Every structure is written in C-alpha cells, then in structure tokens.
Amino acid sequence: MPLDRLVLILVVAIAGAALTVWVAAFAGAALQLGPWSLLVAVPVVLFLYVFWRVVADRLRDRRNDPRGPR
C-alpha cells in the first residue's frame, strides 16, 4: 500500500473519530447529560443502530424469511 493512501486512511479515521466525539459532546450538552452518561449513551445508540440495520435487512431479504416464499 502506498504511503499516501495509508496517511489518507489514518487522517480520515482520526477525523471521523473526532467528529463523533464532537457531535456526542454537543448532544450530551443539549440533553444535559453528565460525562458518565455519555459513556453509556454512545454504545447504546451504536447498538440500537446496528440492531435496527439487522432487523431492516432481515425484513427486506426474502431468503431469510422462515415462512418460506409467498
């Protein structure tokens, strides 16, 4: 892998992490959450997002339907 591509990936990953923390800090301030509740809120929100994506994908995909084809 070329060095410039590796540096680009690192910069994008660090910028994404920083943006996530920044948005979470603003959301916590807007909801008047304490700093410890953010440690719980961020993983819970991420889990709910992944759970929603899995459920939505299973509802759309007919191959995963236990009732068989309709």
Q: What is the pLDDT of residues 38-59, one digit of tens each?
A: 778 778 889 999 999 988 888 8
Burial class (CB in 10 A: 0-12, 13-18, 19+), 24: middle
Ranges of H-type helices in 1-70: 3-30, 35-60
Domain count, the chain: 1
- Output the pTM of the full model: 0.48
**29, part of any domain:** yes
Model confidence at 6, pLDDT cuts 50, 70, 90, reads very high
**45, part of any domain:** yes
With contact defined as beta carbons under 8 Å apart, do 28 and 41 qualify? yes
**15, part of any domain:** yes
Domain span holding position 14: 3-64
Q: What is the pLDDT of residues 11-42, one digit of tens each?
A: 999 999 999 889 888 877 887 877 777 778 77
Distance CA 68, CA 62 (A): 8
**70, part of any domain:** no
**69, part of any domain:** no
